[in-house]
Amino acid sequence: MREAIGKVATDAPGADVHAVVRYGHPAGVLIEESGHADVLVVVRRGHGGFLGTHIGSVSLHCVNAARCPVVVVVHSRMDGA
């Protein structure tokens, strides 16, 4: 996690990027944390959940319920592309 944050932080100088380790259902935790965020960024995984959708179930829940703007990254180095 520190390595990933280090990569992001160097690409966005001046941005306040930090990590929080929380336990619980991923969508619920992210939605709760979105109340304290300027933006929520999630990566499309789509390995299960809702068949026929182009984003995963966690991303879909976040888009529908987050308390801040949500960015869904569809193509990234993190998803093996």
Predicted confidence (pLDDT) per residue in 10-41, tens digit: 777 777 777 778 999 999 999 999 999 999 98
Run of H or E residues at 61:
helix 57-65
Q: Would the pLDDT of 76 be above 70? A: no
The model's pTM: 0.69
Share of the chain above pLDDT 90, in %: 36
User: Are 68 and 37 contacting, i.e. CB atoms less than 8 angstroms apart?
Assistant: yes
Cα–Cα distance, 46 to 33 (Å, whole number): 22
Q: Would the pLDDT of 46 be above 80? A: no
The CATH code of the domain at 18-79 is 3.40.50.620
User: Are 62 and 34 contacting, i.e. CB atoms less than 8 angstroms apart?
Assistant: yes
